[in-house]
Chain A
Amino acid sequence: MTMRQNHLSDDRLIDICLDRASDRHDTAVAPTESEERHLRSCAPCEERWTRLARLLADVREVAAAQADAHFTPDRLARQRARVLQRIDHEARHGRVLAFPAALGHVPTFTSRPRMRWVAAAAAAGLFIGVAAEHVTHWMPGRRVQPAAVANTVDVRPDALQLATAPLSEEEFLGRIELAAEGAASAALRPLDDLTPRVWEVAAR
């Protein structure tokens, strides 16, 4: 047996205490007749037993008190209301939107002959427009001469340098005069004749 010097061991005492606290007694741990007799007659063992039983009762009481101190009846009522509210909320199923395919037959492009004719006419118009533009562009009278374009632009490095250098008003106007008198600007001559000369303005 687990007795020591006729007293019950601590472990055996715990076993018996838990067995008594349980509503379903286990024959394997239940106190034997001699142990019961010893518990009744031995004052030290009875005191140890009482202390252990009190300790368990205290633990139970403290654990319950800790929770009950926070969860007052009001708070429990709110909690209950919240549980029911959540249950109601979860009962409301989400609205399911019908998938577009389920709405019925949507007429497609190929199923409407009139639309096909319109599309074909638009494509033909586009093609004819592009072809006509090409033909007129490459006709001899309309062709732009690359040489004439090159003559109008002075790309010499010194010219670029002069253009970027700061000029006085006099110099600037003088250069315009020289450019206007050049051979390449014959087309601008009538316009030039209409405008007054710098020296004419200065003389007045």
Chain B
Amino acid sequence: MAAEIKALVLAGKREAARDRFAEIVAVHQRRATRIAYQYLRDVHDVDEAVQDAFVKVFAHITNYREDLPFDVWFTRILVNGCLDLRKARARRLRWVLPAPADGAPPEPVAPQPSPEERLLASECGRRIAAAVDQLPERQRTVFTLCQIAEQSTSEVSRTLGLREATVRVHLFRAVRKLRTLLEHES
């Protein structure tokens, strides 16, 4: 579909390309928010990162190489965006005092907790989230892409520009560390 959109843009049919792109957004959006959430843990930052990634992809669709799966290309853009946002946030926190918590508008909460919310609220969910947060940056990235974004190790290696063997090593270390953290706590 990405190749088709590229062809439409090159043919000057921008409106048609935009309509087709809306379909791509719908397909990849959920997965993109899950990946971004692992990096940013902030709803507004996640929203921003995902939007930026899609807008960037459309703006540079003419550079898209058909030999690369769209997933890989898009995920690379998304991950780079998330890492940039994290860096920016760290800089902001270093120099600017955080706003008082009571000034921020609360997130709208569904009246009945969904199954996901129930799982998240459980002790097990909290422990798992905390353990994933403790992983070193590279291990966390590889683990997120392999286990949460469900990419193969070869796709992850192309996304991150690492050798496949290196990806496997990071993944292995991430799982071993998670296992240690979670089994020691339980």
Interface residues of A (CB under 8 A from B): 10-11, 14-15, 17-18, 21-24, 26, 29, 52, 55-56, 58-72, 76, 79-80, 82-84, 86-88, 90-91
Interface pair A84/B33, CB less than 8 Å apart: no
Interface pair B132/A52, CB less than 8 Å apart: no
Q: What are 19 pairs between A and B in contact, CB < 8 Å?
A: A14-B172, A18-B171, A18-B175, A24-B154, A52-B175, A52-B179, A55-B178, A55-B179, A56-B175, A58-B128, A59-B131, A59-B178, A62-B119, A64-B34, A66-B120, A70-B46, A80-B26, A87-B18, A87-B58
A68 to B37, CA, bound (A): 10
Minimum Cβ distance to chain B for residue A106 (Å): 38
Task: Give the number of residues in B that approach A within 8 Å (Cβ atoms).
Answer: 52
B17-31 residues at the A interface, CB under 8 angstroms: 18, 21-22, 25-26, 29-30
A150 to B130, CA, bound (A): 98
Interface pair B147/A60, CB less than 8 Å apart: yes
A70 to B148, CA, bound (A): 16
Minimum Cβ distance to chain B for residue A63 (Å): 5
Q: With A68-B34, A84-B22 known to touch, is A62 a contact of B153 (CB < 8 Å)?
A: no
A65 to B132, CA, bound (A): 14
B107 CB contact (under 8 Å) in A15, A23, A70, A82:
A70
Interface pair A65/B152, CB less than 8 Å apart: no
Interface pair B179/A65, CB less than 8 Å apart: no
A84 CB contact (under 8 Å) in B18, B148, B179:
B18
A59 to B126, CA, bound (A): 10
Secondary structure dominating the interface of A: helix
Q: With A63-B34, A64-B148, A65-B120 known to touch, is A84 a contact of B25 (CB < 8 Å)?
A: yes
Interface pair B14/A14, CB less than 8 Å apart: no
B116 at the interface (CB under 8 A from A): yes
A43 to B155, CA, bound (A): 35
In the complex, which residues of chain A have a beta carbon less than 8 angstroms from the beta carbon of B162?
A: none
Minimum Cβ distance to chain B for residue A186 (Å): 84
Interface pair B38/A63, CB less than 8 Å apart: yes
In the complex, which residues of chain A have a beta carbon less than 8 angstroms from the beta carbon of B38?
A: 63, 67
B10 at the interface (CB under 8 A from A): no
Residue of B nearest to A14 (CB): B175
B136-165 residues at the A interface, CB under 8 angstroms: 144, 146-148, 152-154
A15 to B107, CA, bound (A): 41
A198 to B173, CA, bound (A): 117
Interface pair B120/A69, CB less than 8 Å apart: yes
Interface pair B132/A63, CB less than 8 Å apart: yes
B76 at the interface (CB under 8 A from A): no
Interface pair B153/A24, CB less than 8 Å apart: yes
Q: With A24-B152, A80-B29 known to touch, is A67 a contact of B172 (CB < 8 Å)?
A: no
Interface pair B120/A62, CB less than 8 Å apart: yes
B68 at the interface (CB under 8 A from A): no
B29 CB contact (under 8 Å) in A55, A63, A76, A88:
A76
A63 to B30, CA, bound (A): 12
Binary contact readout B119-133 vs A (1 if CB under 8 angstroms, 0 otherwise): 110001100110110
Known: A18-B171, A71-B46, A83-B51; 8 extra A-B contacts, CB below 8 A, are A18-B175, A26-B153, A55-B182, A62-B124, A62-B125, A67-B46, A76-B33, A90-B55
